[in-house]
Amino acid sequence: MNPARDSALIDQLRAEAAETPWLEFKSNNTDPEMIGKRCSALANSARIEGRDMAYMVWGIEDESHAIIGTDFNPEAKKVGNQALSLWLANSLQPSIAFNFRTVVHPQGRVVLLEIPAATGAPVAFNAVPYIRISSATPRLTDYPERYQQLIERLRPYRWEQGIARQYASGDEVLSLLDYSQYFRLTGQPLPDNRAGIFDKLEADRLIVRDVGERWNITHLGAILFAMRLNDFEASLARKAVRFVAYSGKNRASPVAHRLDGQRGYAVGFEGLIDYVNNLLPKNEHIGAALRADRPLFPSIAVRELVANALIHQDMTITGAGPQIELFEDRLEISNPGATLVLPDRMIDLPPRSRNEALASLMRRMRMCEEQGSGLDKVVQACEVFQLPAPLFRTEGDATQAVLYGPRSFAEMTQDERMRACYFHAVLKFLSGDKMKNASLCVRLGIATKNAAQATAVINRTLDAGLIRVADPDHPRAGYVPHWA
């Protein structure tokens, strides 16, 4: 930790008018049971008060807040044969990342215990949750109104709110984040003074106030607007997008192009999409009068799938980030984390994201489609380009989307034909229509005289349980997805 920040934090805590539900001063009382109960009470109270952190400080007089010093040494303190920190960690449920720090303040030695606010559930000490009321530490269950208030304020951990850089000066914030791009992408005028810039960055939770006129850069701010992700912690730098183009159909083929992203997602997005699209193979398309080259894969599909990989990844999986791989016959886009929606329902169900703030801001910046419409457009574009249906799948702790290059009906596998049939039925249903043999012939490029081939695909898709007859009393009425 930063010694200067710790001293500034001590001064800020001392400036409080009195002890609060999330702050307590001690002289030299180091009773382990007392510390355990206070950890529970302060963590729970901090969440009710809307604080992310609670504190106990030894070596400060309760009434005057004067520094009197302490000889408390948490590292040497034992409870039975166990170190205090280990005993405390085992006694608190659920486990919280508390932190003892010795601070050599100019006015004397103090010990700081930093306690994260409760997140998923009330924090209990030896199976009993406590709460802070004035100077008392009663059981939380004795105050049902406080218990209900705490339950309403508990929230799951949000990676975006974590701290990527702590105790940064204003100059450091402006050098680490591409703030001019933030204003351009969000359509806001650039303020003519630093205070205005910081106010806007703070409003979108890209930065939060720290102590001593300093700032914390959040994970959200860094992952979106970092000038260089390598300027932050290694776990964040590994979230950079990686692109690899192979000269064959598998990963054993020679690497033709490689790009390891360095910039934040927002400031590097357009450049990344342009880079990928420029490397995609081109097909000659004959229009009304002219021949023109168009990308092998629809640009809107590439853009939307890359944005989805950025937005929906599980940021808590370390050592992994989004990856784009271009092969001779397909494009694979993957991200860490299993999808929160079943792969065959990703096109029709509203998306569920682990990173709501990230998703919201990227939509504001028009980097992806409005909520719920993106994958519809991916599948629709593949139909327009007469490509095989895209594949969405979860493998272990990763989600993958695959776009395939052109293949004739004869070249498609049975699974690819059924997937195209299912997605065609979904698109028809979402537009208020029903899939029929004739429409599937058009989708799969089957000549009318060979309509029996489409019928065979429909029958296999029916047997697989992916579609059903829309009206059993009128079989010619068409087909709808199995969930409709």
Number of domains forming the structure of the chain: 4
Query: Where residue 156 falls among pLDDT bands split at 50, 70, 90?
Result: low
Judge if 305 and 415 occupy the same domain: no
Residue 64 has pLDDT above 80, yes or no: yes
Return the pLDDT at 159: 87
Query: Residue 252 contacts by C-beta under 8 Å, 6 or more apart in sequence?
Result: none
Per-residue pLDDT tens for 356-408? 899 899 999 988 765 556 788 899 999 998 899 999 998 888 999 999 999 89
Judge if 415 and 319 occupy the same domain: no
Q: Regarding beta strands 99-105 and 291-295, do their DSSP bridges make them parallel or antiparallel, or are they unpaired?
A: unpaired
Judge if 115 and 12 occupy the same domain: yes
Judge if 46 and 102 occupy the same domain: yes
Spatial contact of 483 and 474, defined as CB atoms under 8 Å apart = no
Take residue 40 and report the two structure tokens written for it: 């529970």
Q: How confident is the prediction for the chain on average, in pLDDT?
A: 91
The mean pLDDT of 292-302, rounded to a whole number, is 79
Residue 476 has pLDDT above 50, yes or no: yes
Residues 65-80 as b/e (b if ≥16 CB within 10 A, e otherwise) read bebbbbebebeebebe
Return the pLDDT at 368: 78
Q: Regarding beta strands 53-58 and 108-116, do their DSSP bridges make them parallel or antiparallel, or are they unpaired?
A: antiparallel
Return the pLDDT at 286: 42
Residue 155 has pLDDT above 60, yes or no: yes
The mean pLDDT of 205-222, rounded to a whole number, is 96
Return the pLDDT at 369: 66
Judge if 26 and 114 occupy the same domain: yes
Mark which of 404, 433, 459 sits at the end of a domain.
404
Per-residue pLDDT tens for 30-61? 999 999 999 999 999 999 998 999 999 999 99
Return the pLDDT at 291: 45
Rounded Cα gap, residues 55 and 303, in angstroms: 45
State the residue range of the domain holding 323.
242-404
Mark which of 235, 257, 290 sits at the end of a domain.
235
Judge if 175 and 189 occupy the same domain: yes
CATH number assigned to the domain comprising residue 326: 3.30.565.60
Judge if 189 and 247 occupy the same domain: no
Judge if 270 and 315 occupy the same domain: yes
- Tell me which residue has tokens 């951990």: 157
Q: Which of 11-20, 134-143, 149-158, 466-475 has the lowest mean pLDDT?
A: 149-158
Is the previous residue joined to 295 through a cis bond, with omega within 30 degrees of 0?
A: no
Residues comprising the chain, all counted: 484
CATH number assigned to the domain comprising residue 149: 3.30.950
Rounded Cα gap, residues 281 and 330, in angstroms: 10
Judge if 316 and 430 occupy the same domain: no
Question: How many Å is the Cα radius of gyration of the chain?
Answer: 29
- Mapped onto helix, strand or coil, the DSSP state of residue 129 is strand
Per-residue pLDDT tens for 109-149? 999 999 999 988 899 999 999 999 988 999 999 999 999 99
Judge if 46 and 15 occupy the same domain: yes
Take residue 292 and report the two structure tokens written for it: 């023109």
Mark which of 209, 235, 261 sits at the end of a domain.
235
pTM: 0.83
The rounded percent of the chain whose pLDDT value lies above 90 is 76
Q: Which of 77-91, 146-160, 178-192, 432-446 has the lowest mean pLDDT?
A: 146-160
The rounded percent of the chain whose pLDDT value lies above 70 is 95
Judge if 127 and 108 occupy the same domain: yes
Judge if 189 and 210 occupy the same domain: yes
Residues 259-294 as b/e (b if ≥16 CB within 10 A, e otherwise) read bebebbbbbbbeebbeebeeebeeeeeeeeeeeeee
CA angle 480, 403, 443 (to 5 degrees): 40
